[in-house]
Amino acid sequence: MELSPDESIVFHIAGFGVNATIVFTWAVMAILTIASILITRSLKPEVPPDRWRTVLETIVLTIQGQIDEISARPDRRLLHFAGTLFLFIVTSNLLMIVPGWRSPTASLSTTAALALAVLVAVPLFGIGARGLGGYLHSYLEPNVIMLPFNIIGEASRGISLAIRLYGNVMSGAVIAAILLGVAPFFFPVVMDMLGLLTGVIQAYIFAILATVYISSATAVPDPAQEPS
């Protein structure tokens, strides 16, 4: 049994194998792009919103509300970044109920790439909010002795993000395979329902953690709270 989509080669291009991870990643990107174009093509104040536009607006407002509760410095770019992470992961996971679908998030290469995107975004947002000197100084807090520990802690965030998402998706696939062998007529329905719930939760957790890390990097210390 192939647990990771990396192991499944779909076709070859110039002698190079294109695995299921790449194919289904581009499929998710295409689905999100086409859906956003179709939903927002008549996005005008005078045009009454249909149900799909209402769903999209609800998702965006919910994500923005979560960001506002976490971040002391709300940034529209953070909405774009965290929202994209959430929509990509939740779409990848929810489509697992489609026969033949191989979720890209079941590949460690995909989860590592998403975690790497967060690791790159953290200093970019931090430098944009606090300046290069202010952000680099955060690695020396509370004193210079903490520099290596702060660097290790920053790197461990990305590793934990990748392993957490990959482990949860893979564990769900393994459990589903076992239950299908035990009771193939009953457990598929139960596992589909649990898979939908787990997929949404994992996407939410990943996006929230990314928001927390970025918000921490962009937080400017309050001079009034600094010791004199």
* 214 falls within a domain: yes
Most confidently modeled range among 117-126, 160-169, 196-205: 117-126
Percent of the chain with pLDDT over 90: 17
Kindly report, residue by residue over 39-55, the tens digit of the pLDDT.
Answer: 888 777 777 777 888 88
**Is 2 a domain residue?**
no
How many other CB atoms are found less than 10 A from the CB of residue 55? 12
For residue 162, tell me if it sits in a domain: yes
Q: How far apart are CA 62 and CA 81, in angstroms?
A: 14
> How far is 203 from 207, CA to CA, in rounded Å?
6
Average pLDDT, the chain: 81
From start to end of the chain, where are the E strands? 9-13, 16-19
pLDDT band for position 166 (cuts 50, 70, 90)? confident
What does the alpha-carbon distance between residue 222 and residue 64 come to, in Å, rounded to a whole number?
Answer: 24
Nearest to 214 by CA among 70, 110, 61: 70
Residue 172 pLDDT class (50, 70, 90 cuts): low
> Dihedral (C-alpha) 19, 23, 26, 32: value to the nearest 10 degrees?
-130
pLDDT surpassing 90 at residue 71? no
Q: In which band, very low, low, confident or very high, does the pLDDT at 170 lie, cut at 50, 70 and 90?
A: low
Residue 192: name the closest of 208, 172, 207 by CA. 172
Report helix angle 108-137 to 20-40, nearest 10: 70
Whether residue 8 is contained in a domain is answered as no
The reported pLDDT for the residue numbered 192 is: 64
Total number of domains constituting the chain: 1
Amino acid at 206: F
Q: What is the pLDDT of residues 112-155, one digit of tens each?
A: 899 999 999 999 998 888 888 888 888 887 778 888 888 888 88
28 is a domain residue: no
Structural domain contains residue 80? yes
pLDDT of residue 93: 87
Question: CA-CA distance, 47 to 59, in Å (whole number)?
Answer: 19
Q: What is the pLDDT of residue 224?
A: 46
How high is the pLDDT of residue 184? 56
Domain that holds residue 80: 56-221
Indicate yes or no: pTM above 0.85.
Answer: no
211 found inside a domain? yes
Cβ contact 24:104 at 8 Å: yes
- Residue 17's beta-bridge partner residues? 12
Q: State yes or no: pLDDT of 215 exceeds 60.
A: yes
Q: Is residue 206 part of a domain?
A: yes
